[in-house]
Chains A and B, each alone.
Chain A
Amino acid sequence: MRFGPKENEMNQGINLSVFEIVGSPLCVASDDGQKVHDRIAAALKEGRKVSLSFLNVTSITSAFLNAAIGQLYGECSEEAIRANLQVTDMAQDDLALLKRVVDTAKAYFKDREGFRRAVNEVLGDETDAK
């Protein structure tokens, strides 16, 4: 899935509350992160800018953030995410965790792409040899 902005809708932003989506201050489960991801992804798909608020969230895990935000890097370009997604109301240590998750996700998808290309080359070679 690749998301592209619809130019006439691009400026209509949407505010999403993590606390409201999860229904708890404890953002620890990957499944809950998936719910947040699905809302962000749907909004980005419609060409909306997303502001994601972590107000009233007290605990966050990397598993939650990997599902909520990390996986966006497998669906959108870094530029699109940088241009259309912002986070608010995060404590400094939570921001640091999010930064680690984002950097890890970028590397993960680059590695995965490289791995896939290498596999395809090997399979291609085998196909050629037949």
Chain B
Amino acid sequence: MKFRLPSTIRHDQAGFEELVDLNSKAGEIAFDEIEIDMGSVTWLDADMCAALGGILYRLSAELNEIKLTGIRPDVEGILSRNGFLSHYGREKTPDRYGTTIPYQRFEVKDDRYFANYIEDQFIHRSEMPSMSTGLQKKFRESVFEIFSNAVIHSQTQMGIFSCGQFFRAKHRLVFTVADLGIGIRRNIEQSRGITMRADAAISWATEGRNTTKNGAIPGGLGLKLLREFITLNKGVLRIVSDAGYWELSGGNTRTHLFGYPFPGTVVNIEINTSDKHSYMLGSELAESDIF
């Protein structure tokens, strides 16, 4: 079975739509050879490897043999540097430009491994963007919140995929985490008994005190913290879950319903690295005021 990728796959609504379309066309194929023809691809945002990798992993779990063919040299260069192609028979090449946070797959029990990966690949690398201490801490904690969200809520059996890219000229650092879990819509349905559209489900999860937790440990803060940070930072937050697309940009949100679902959830954060906001609090909190 052969599938052709389009000329550009960016981390935006159209880019995600191409990937859910690929996932839908591939359907439930098993014990087959799947050729992903990338001959037309002239641009693929490297962080989108997390979502693409998740889809291809789902297909390989059905014992399909995945082959990526026709990759143009410039696209091959970046997908080799971030380690994506080493999952498909190529060797990883060194990242001479220092702009990639490598593509990697994690199990749900790998919280610490993920934390160390972020420290090693982002925090301890001199070629990564120079950001204020406050911003660097907020970015790091945001990606940890995203990973924790996937661990706690996704119920994935096939892992969590991540990848990042620094767009130096645009002062933008983009990081994507994808899981192959049940998605936000089904999670709300199972835990709260509320049925809603996939895009409305994402909105629900990012607002107020809404949470799908109902056990001994409270929850429901992670996505709200992300939303607040990205609004202050003037970045972009995109969430794809099931057939829903939700985007926060410039403080405004918009949603869209795809024709087909993504087989899990993708969270994509784009931060403005030239942000000089201190992220310090306006008023001092005393340790005695907490409880």
Shortest distance from the beta carbon of A26 to any chain B beta carbon, whole Å? 4
Q: Is the CB of B291 within 8 A of A61?
A: no
A59 contacts B290, C-beta separation under 8 Å: no
**CB <8 Å contact, A26 and B112:** yes
**CA of A96 to CA of B287, assembled, Å:** 10
A66 adjacent to B219 (CB under 8 Å) = yes
- B148 adjacent to A102 (CB under 8 Å): no
> In the bound complex, do residue A62 and residue B145 qualify as a contact, i.e. CB atoms below 8 Å apart?
yes
Let me know if A130 is at the binding interface, CB within 8 A: no
Of A3-11, A12-20, A104-112, the one contacting chain B is A104-112
- Write the chain B residue with the least CB distance to A75: B216
A24 at the interface (CB under 8 A from B): yes
A62 touches B221 (CB 8 A): yes
Q: A71-B216, A93-B137, A98-B290 are in contact. Are A107 and B209 (CB under 8 A)?
A: yes
Distance to closest chain A CB from B212 (angstroms): 12
Report whether A73 and B287 are in contact in the complex, using a CB–CB cutoff of 8 Å.
no
A78 interfacial contact with B, CB 8 Å: yes
Q: Shortest Cβ distance from B136 into chain A, in angstroms?
A: 11
Q: Mark contacts of B105-144 with chain A using CB atoms, 8 A cut-off: 1 yes-contact digit, 0 otherwise.
A: 0000101101110010000000000000010010011001
Size of the chain A interface, CB-CB below 8 angstroms: 45
Q: Which residues of A contact B218 (CB under 8 A)?
A: 66, 70-71, 73-74, 101, 104-105, 108-109
Residue from A28, A86, A93, A100 within 8 A of B148 (CB atoms): A28
Q: What DSSP secondary structure best describes chain A's contact surface?
A: helix
Q: Give the contact-size bracket for chain B.
A: 35 or more
In A10-47, which residues have CB < 8 Å from any B CB? 24, 26, 28-32, 34
Contact partner, A81, options B114, B116, B213, B291, Cβ 8 Å = B291
**Which residues on B sit within 8 Å (CB–CB) of A66?**
217-219, 221
Cα–Cα, bound, A49→B115 (Å): 32
Determine the residue in chain B with the shortest Cβ distance to A68. Answer: B217
Q: Which of B114, B151, B221 contacts A101 (CB 8 A)?
A: B221
Closest Cβ of chain A: how far from B267's Cβ, in Å?
Answer: 14
Q: Choose from B116, B145, B209, B284 the contact partner of A26 (Cβ within 8 Å).
A: B116
Minimum CB–CB distance for B213 against chain A, Å: 7
With a CB–CB cut-off of 8 A, which chain B residues contact A100?
221, 225
Hey, which chain A residues are within 8 Å of B281, CB to CB? 92-93, 96
Answer yes or no: A123 CB below 8 A from chain B CBs. Answer: no
A55 near B: Cβ within 8 Å?
no
Contacts A28-B115, A112-B214 given; does A61 touch B144 at CB 8 Å:
yes
List B residues at the A interface (Cβ < 8 Å): 109, 111-112, 114-116, 119, 134, 137, 140-141, 144-145, 147-149, 151-152, 209, 211, 213-214, 216-222, 225, 279-281, 284-285, 287-291
Interface contacts beyond A95-B287, A108-B218: sample of 6 additional A-B pairs, CB < 8 Å, sorted by A? A61-B148, A87-B287, A102-B290, A104-B221, A107-B209, A108-B220
